[in-house]
């Protein structure tokens, strides 16, 4: 079983979201062994990147429906969430 961090890293590296865009994984209560225990969301991206995101998301939910959340802290809501933000480059001139 792969970790939430590994799934997030694979999704981000495949999509290469634009600066200022976040990709977020949230823990989800699974109702069975083939029902995913996670959801993914992304910020605003152009259509081409959104297609890449959705294709990779479908692939990962099929290959890794259950992921390991044990390294992530539980939020007040009882769910765990991790995010990767693509920070914009700062121009110091």
The whole-number pLDDT of residue 26 equals: 93
Residue 60 exposure: Cα atoms within 13 Å on the Cβ side: 26
d(Cα 16, Cα 53) in Å, to the nearest integer? 9
Nearest to 14 by CA among 59, 44, 47: 59
Nearest to 8 by CA among 33, 29, 43, 39: 39
Q: Is the pLDDT of residue 31 over 50?
A: yes
The whole-number pLDDT of residue 16 equals: 92
- List pLDDT tens digits, range 35-81: 999 999 999 999 999 999 999 999 999 999 999 999 988 766 677 88
């Amino acid at each position: 079983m792969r970790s939430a961090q590994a799934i997030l890293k694979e999704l981000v590296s495949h999509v290469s979201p634009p600066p200022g865009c976040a990709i977020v994984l949230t823990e989800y209560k699974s109702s069975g062994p083939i029902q995913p225990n996670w959801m993914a969301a992304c910020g605003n991206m152009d259509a081409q990147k959104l297609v890449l995101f959705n294709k990779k998301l479908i692939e990962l939910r099929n290959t890794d429906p259950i992921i390991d959340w044990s390294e992530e802290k539980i939020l007040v809501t009882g769910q765990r969430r991790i995010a990767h933000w693509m920070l914009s480059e700062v121009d110091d001139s």
